[in-house]
């Protein structure tokens, strides 16, 4: 994370008018009703703002009409608010026990693994026919698919307004370096941020025959997970140059990243309790059927070991825009305090975004589930075997905090702004829309993840005590659904549920394993080295897994 992460938070500053705030954060999202009046309408105490009077002598009189700030609010800042899709480590292809591997009595296996996703999807990839001969493709692995950063309106409006303020001596000295920034280029760079994820730990797997045809097995992982945003080295260099005037000599980019854009957790994942039963057998084939129960033992024992961790909270800061409209007239000694106030607010918005995209679900995110599986096995010849697992999983509903933004009104903000009378009333309108854009509401909702289909097939060749395996893994997850949102009905009707709901996801992997059996008079043990890599992905991740395992049969 050795890049100027400050640039991302500064993006939020650039996209919005100068503000001063007094943050009031809801400590418990179950108490969100305090933000609504008796009719269910959103209500924030802006009495201090409404009592503000911008006098005729103010150097800012008339400038609110000249600036193009209203155009910044005609579109949503968040293009999506759902949690990025994720996959449970327990059902990765290397952690299945195939029929040919099953011992005659019992076996315990310990897997040590490392998994890295270089480019996780924020959203699903999309394409749009913009003309007869041109199709525009959008990569869901870029931050620009989640935040409306590359909107050409943002960059042009900001550049025009900065030039206007600079030409009339209204641009505060602290923001003077803005004149030197190429905003379209910088916004495009910021939109290129990638979501990375790493998982490391061990998975314990116990298998026990309970009859000639039936067996019981149990799996549970213990893992460390970390997520962060990142750029390429060239992008980091260009962002460094663009924001060099704002960094200051005492700016610690690594520490900044740990505090705001790196989230990590250590804990246990989902417990898998499974049964399998042999329903058919010949000299060269057999067929098992089985079932699993996924027990929600997911628990983050500790968080923020390297970075930080933000639990989703419903935040609606109260702004006092009038306090800084005369910032250019402040004495120099007041500028540091004003700049600090600005940074605190926009960093809070940045942390709010991180609490959505950087969450670390340890397994199935505390969803109870069940699975049905079929395990066919073909003994092609003495040294060659073909094995498969076909697994259908269903995850039951569970309550989670989720992020929501309102649907766009039929009346554009710019129209509403022009029809507003006084400057104080216009600032009131900007305040409400600014908070609405940067701080999606967080409400408890019942999340229904839907079903998952997982198929694994491999070919194994045996030579003496060595086994060599190569295979593929296909994975699909259906679109999730949201129900029973804990908000007033009048509010629910205004929420954009599509942006809060994760689309379906799928992935195709290739995997392999080298396995060595060691048999002695009293023991049968084995060692394996394995790995898998994504070769195709839709709305999930491009990842790679490496690991070692140790088996002991009894």
Give per-residue pLDDT as tens, 262-290: 999 999 999 999 999 999 999 889 999 99
pLDDT band (50, 70, 90) for residue 335: low
Per-residue pLDDT band at 45 (split at 50, 70, 90): very low
Percent of the chain with pLDDT over 70: 76
| pLDDT, average across residues 432-452 | 93
- Give the model's pLDDT for residue 251: 64
Q: Supply the pLDDT for residue 101.
A: 63
What is the pLDDT at residue 74?
78
Dist CA 79 CA 496 (whole Å): 10
Q: Report the length, in residues, of the chain.
A: 554
Average pLDDT value for residue range 394-419: 86
> C-alpha dihedral over 206, 210, 215, 221, to 10 degrees?
-20
Q: What is the mean pLDDT of residues 173-197?
A: 81
What is the widest separation between alpha-carbon atoms in the chain? 98
pLDDT of residue 10 exceeding 50, the answer is no
User: Is the predicted pLDDT of residue 363 greater than 70, yes or no?
Assistant: yes
- pLDDT score, position 496: 94
Tell me, what's the pLDDT at 170? Answer: 61
CB contact at 8 A, 473 and 508: yes
pLDDT digits (tens, 9 = 90+) for 283-312: 889 999 999 999 999 999 999 999 999 999
pLDDT range class, residue 44, cuts 50, 70, 90? very low
Secondary structure (3-state) at 270: coil
Instruction: Please tell me the predicted confidence (pLDDT) of residue 420.
Output: 78
For residue 534, give every residue at least 6 positions away whose Cβ sits within 8 Å of its Cβ, in sequence order, or none. Answer: 507, 508, 509, 541, 542, 543, 544
Distance CA 216, CA 471 (A): 25
CB 354 within 8 A of CB 263: yes
What pLDDT score does 23 carry? 38
Of 233 and 102, the structure prediction assigns the larger pLDDT to 233
Mean pLDDT of the 122-144 span: 73
List, in sequence order, every residue forming a beta bridge with 216; answer none if it has no partner.
Answer: 208, 275
End-to-end CA distance of the chain: 46
If one compares 486 and 155, the residue with the highest pLDDT of the two is 486
Q: Which residues pair with 147 in a beta bridge?
A: 78
Please give the pLDDT value at position 127: 62
Instruction: Please identify which residue in the block is written with the tokens 């209203």.
Output: 70
119-123, 244-248, 360-364, 373-377: range with lowest mean pLDDT: 244-248
pLDDT at 460: 93
Q: pLDDT category, 434, cuts 50, 70, 90?
A: confident
Residue 208's pLDDT band (cuts 50, 70, 90): very high
Q: How far apart are CA 246 and CA 177, in angstroms?
A: 8
Q: What gap in Å lies between CA 124 and CA 146, rounded to an integer?
A: 10
Its CATH architecture, for the domain 6-26+59-122+136-398+409-475+506-553, is Beta Barrel (2.40)
d(CA 371, CA 58): 68
Could you read off the pLDDT of 214-238 as tens digits, one per residue? 999 999 999 999 999 998 888 888 8
Least confident of 5-14, 171-180, 202-211, 221-230: 5-14
Q: How confident is the model at residue 430 (pLDDT cuts 50, 70, 90)?
A: confident
Our separate counts of H helices and E strands in the chain read 12, 21
Q: Closest Cα partner for 94 from 532, 509, 542, 543?
A: 532
**C-alpha Rg value of the chain to the nearest Å:** 28
| C-alpha span between 312 and 357 (Å, rounded) | 10
| 443-472 pLDDT per residue, tens | 999 999 999 999 999 999 999 889 999 999
Q: In the chain, what are the domain boundaries?
A: 6-26+59-122+136-398+409-475+506-553
């Amino acid at each position: 994370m050795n890049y100027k992460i400050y640039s991302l938070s500064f993006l939020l500053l650039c996209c919005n008018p100068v503000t001063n705030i007094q943050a009031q954060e809801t400590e418990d999202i179950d108490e969100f009703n305090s933000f609504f009046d008796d009719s269910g309408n959103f209500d924030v105490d802006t009495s201090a703002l409404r009592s503000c009077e911008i006098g005729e002598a103010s150097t800012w009189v008339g400038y609110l009409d000249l600036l193009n700030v209203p155009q910044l609010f005609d579109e949503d800042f968040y293009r999506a608010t759902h949690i990025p899709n994720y996959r449970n480590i327990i059902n990765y292809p290397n952690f299945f026990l195939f029929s040919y591997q099953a011992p005659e009595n019992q076996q315990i296996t310990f897997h040590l693994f490392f998994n890295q996703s270089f480019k996780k999807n924020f959203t699903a990839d999309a394409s749009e026919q913009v003309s007869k001969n041109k199709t525009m493709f959008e990569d869901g692995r870029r931050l620009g698919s989640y935040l409306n950063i590359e909107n050409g309106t943002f960059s042009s409006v900001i550049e025009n307004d900065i030039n206007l303020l600079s030409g009339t001596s209204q641009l505060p000295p602290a923001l003077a370096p803005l004149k030197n920034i190429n905003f379209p280029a910088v916004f495009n760079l910021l939109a290129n941020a990638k979501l990375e994820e790493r998982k490391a730990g061990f998975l314990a797997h116990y298998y026990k025959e309970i009859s000639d045809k039936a067996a019981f097995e149990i799996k549970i992982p213990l893992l460390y997970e970390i997520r962060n945003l990142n750029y390429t080295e060239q992008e980091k260099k260009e962002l460094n140059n663009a924001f060099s005037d704002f960094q200051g000599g005492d700016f610690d980019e690594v520490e900044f990243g740990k505090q705001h854009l790196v989230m990590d957790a250590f804990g246990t994942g989902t417990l898998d309790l499974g049964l399998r039963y042999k329903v058919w057998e010949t000299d060269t084939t057999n067929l098992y059927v089985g079932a699993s129960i996924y027990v929600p033992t997911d628990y983050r024992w500790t968080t923020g070991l390297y970075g930080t961790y933000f639990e989703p909270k419903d935040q609606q800061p109260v702004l006092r825009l009038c306090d800084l409209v005369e910032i250019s007239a402040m004495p120099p000694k007041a500028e540091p305090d004003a700049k600090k106030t600005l940074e605190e607010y926009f960093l809070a918005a940045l942390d709010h975004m991180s609490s959505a995209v950087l969450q670390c679900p340890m397994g199935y995110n505390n969803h109870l589930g069940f699975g049905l599986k079929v395990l066919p096995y073909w003994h092609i010849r003495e040294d060659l075997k073909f094995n498969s697992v076909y697994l259908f999983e269903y995850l039951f509903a569970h309550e989670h905090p989720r992020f929501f933004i309102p649907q766009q009104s039929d009346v554009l903000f710019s129209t509403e702004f022009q029809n507003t009378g006084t400057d104080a009333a216009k600032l009131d309108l900007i305040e409400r829309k600014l908070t609405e854009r940067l701080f999606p509401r967080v409400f408890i909702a019942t999340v229904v993840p839907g079903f998952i289909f997982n198929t694994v097939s491999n070919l194994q060749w045996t030579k003496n005590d060595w086994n060599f395996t190569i295979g593929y893994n296909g994975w699909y997850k259906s679109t999730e659904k949201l129900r029973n949102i804990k908000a007033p009905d009048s509010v629910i009707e205004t929420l954009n549920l599509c942006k809060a709901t994760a689309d379906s996801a799928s992935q195709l992997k290739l995997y392999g394993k080298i396995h060595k059996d060691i048999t002695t008079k009293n023991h049968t043990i084995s060692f394996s080295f394995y790995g898998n890599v994504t070769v195709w992905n839709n709305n999930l991740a491009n990842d790679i897994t490496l690991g070692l395992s140790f088996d002991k049969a009894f």
